[in-house]
Structure 1
Amino acid sequence: MQNQFQEEERYLRAQKRVKEIKGFYNHLFWYVVINIIIVLIVVATYDWDFGQIFNFNAYSTALFWGIGILFHAIGVFGKGFVFSKKWEERKIKEYMDKDKF
């Protein structure tokens, strides 16, 4: 009975983790899509006038939303999500395996 409870608990934790990761990638997908649309609108509106195309107001949404994406990534993957200890160990093992031959 205890083993079944632990197995169900592990499943629920894994399910929650998958939902968190899926939520992050969904958030990232919409960030990219919306910001591509904004860039296209800015370019079309200012007819390639580079003085206006590189105006901060046109890209403030991308900047501030990008900061939100960064915090979302930290919340989902943890502080060391880019170069974590686990990543470092995986890379060391990978290079050691390549060096065998």
Structure 2
Amino acid sequence: MDNFDNNFDERYEDAQKRVKRLKGFYTHLTVYILVNIMIVFLNVSNLQPGESYFQFENFFTAFFWGIGLLAHGVSVFGHHLIFGKDWEEKKIKEFMDKDKHEHEKWE
């Protein structure tokens, strides 16, 4: 029963970390959307008659910040796609087994 409780605590902490990462991403996404809407309104209000909104400088912030937001999204959602569902646990077990083997070798 004690092992189950320890395992529950670890799973709870992992879930808590994932929730914080998700919350951080969604906060980042919300700020990105709100700031870029504000920038669009400011840019549209400063257009000269007959001037097109579709110029690179009007999308500079959205484009480069969007790259950062994409990287943040991949760090939150994409690591399971790249490393697989249980990759971290397998690697931890591999390192622990290696350390155990090294320790036994020197005894």
Regarding TM over 0.5, the answer is: yes
| Distance in structure 2 (CA, Å) of the matches to 1:25 and 1:9 | 24
Query: Which ranges of structure 1 fall in alignment gaps of 5 or more residues?
Result: 82-101
TM-score (norm 2): 0.68
| Identity percentage of aligned residues | 44
Once the two structures are superposed, the pairs formed by residues 39-58 of structure 1 within 5 Å of their partners are: 39-47=40-48, 49-51=50-52, 53-58=53-58
TM-score (norm 1): 0.72
User: Cα deviation per residue 1:7-44 (whole Å; 9 max; x = unaligned)?
Assistant: 00000000000110111011000000000000000000
SS of the residue corresponding to residue 46 of structure 1 reads coil
**Residue number in structure 2 paired with 1:31:** 32
Q: Which has the higher contact order (CA 8 A, sep 6+)?
A: 2
Quickly say closer, same or farther: Cα 1:62–1:12, change in 2 above 3 A.
Answer: same
**Residue number in structure 2 paired with 1:14:** 15
Q: How far off its partner does 1:71 sit?
A: 0.7
| Distance in structure 1 (CA, Å) of the matches to 2:56 and 2:78 | 30
Quickly say closer, same or farther: Cα 1:73–1:43, change in 2 above 3 A.
Answer: same
Q: How far off its partner does 1:79 sit?
A: 5.8
Q: How far off its partner does 1:63 sit?
A: 0.2
Which residue identity is paired with 1:66? G
Query: Which ranges of structure 2 fall in alignment gaps of 5 or more residues?
Result: 82-107
